[in-house]
Amino acid sequence: MAASTLVSAWGPLRPGVPGLCRCRQPRGLWAHAWRLPEPAGSGRSVAAVSGPGISGTDRYCLELLRKRDYEGYLCSLLLPAESRSSAFALRAFNVELAQVKDSVSEKTIGLMRMQFWKNTVDDIYCDSPPHQPVAIELWKAVKRHNLTKRWLMKIIDEREKNLDDKAYRNVQELENYAENTQSSLLYLTLEILGIKDLHADHAASHIGKAQGIVTCLRATPYHGSRRRVFLPMDICMLHGVSQEDFLRKSQDKNVRDVVYDMASQAHLHLKHARSFHKSVPVKAFPAFLQTVNNT
């Protein structure tokens, strides 16, 4: 799911429970979608970030991120200069995969696109990337940082399995999806930063799961507008909530209880990640910047 589709972040739902995203409380559970403010002049902003020597493929990744994953774009700007272009390539790769599901009308077409990226990753590791901007930049990142192939493949495989329009059966299934997508992306970002540390990996695993749960929550109004609900069925059944309740944007207490339980599970992962803060190398902290959202 591309970041451009993420909508409506919920703040604290009950007194005493910290909001995961540190956002202002919406006026209603189904408040209007919000986005981070866009730069005033897109062309000049990209040029200012990248400098005069930027290649066409690098610019393509930068612009793709700015349009489709603005939070990832901002956080990548704060990485060390020597890691920045590789981070742009990695996140652009993630955007390309994430937007497949919403851009195809048939699953078969989506499977074909996923196969293209599987073949592309194979070709990258054979030093023969296709003439596609993201693929070329990703190849440069792999060569520069010796990125682990299996993390890239895990992201593709999990996105491919997610092409089915089915709700998660339980929260563990959602966490597995988040581990193989969001956490894998963080493992690769750590490699770009030159970090190989078990504590950092443990923190990345929990942060990725927290991000996956929050992303699922934030995307619920968007998916509802397309007559889709992906929230874990076990939590919905626990509170007696049907998919139709979300489709009609109900604000009943049982609906809020579903959101609360999911947010609490994400917050638990965030607490686990924070428990490693004294053990994680300081150099690894920039990889986790996207866990902090602006108010």
Domain boundaries, the chain: 56-148, 165-288
- Tracing tokens 């851009």 back to the chain, one arrives at 103
DSSP single-letter state for residue 261: H
Choose between 59 and 19: higher pLDDT: 59
- The type of residue at 292 is V
pLDDT at residue 49 in the model: 53
Residue 291 pLDDT level (bands cut at 50, 70, 90): confident
- 9 C-beta neighbours (distance < 10 Å), count: 21
Give CA–CA dist 189/60, Å, rounded: 20
> Which residue, 211, 145, 219, 134, is CA-closest to 178?
211
CATH code matching the domain that covers 165-288, chosen among 3.30.70.2200, 1.10.600.10, 1.25.40.10, 1.20.1250.20: 1.10.600.10
The arithmetic mean of pLDDT across residues 33-43, rounded, is 42
The arithmetic mean of pLDDT across residues 228-242, rounded, is 94
Choose between 168 and 21: higher pLDDT: 168
- Tracing tokens 């969001």 back to the chain, one arrives at 182
Give CA–CA dist 132/138, Å, rounded: 10
Rounded to the nearest 5 degrees, what angle is found at the Cα of 194, between the Cα atoms of 181 and 88? 50
User: Residues 106-139: pLDDT tens digits?
Assistant: 999 999 999 999 999 999 999 999 999 999 999 9
> Which residue, 129, 134, 288, is CA-closest to 201?
288
Is the pLDDT at 275 greater than 90, yes or no?
yes
Give CA–CA dist 6/151, Å, rounded: 23
For 155-189, give one letter per residue: b (16+ CB within 10 A) or e.
Answer: bbbbbbebbeeebbeebeebbbbbbbbbbbbbbbb
Is the pLDDT at 38 greater than 90, yes or no?
no
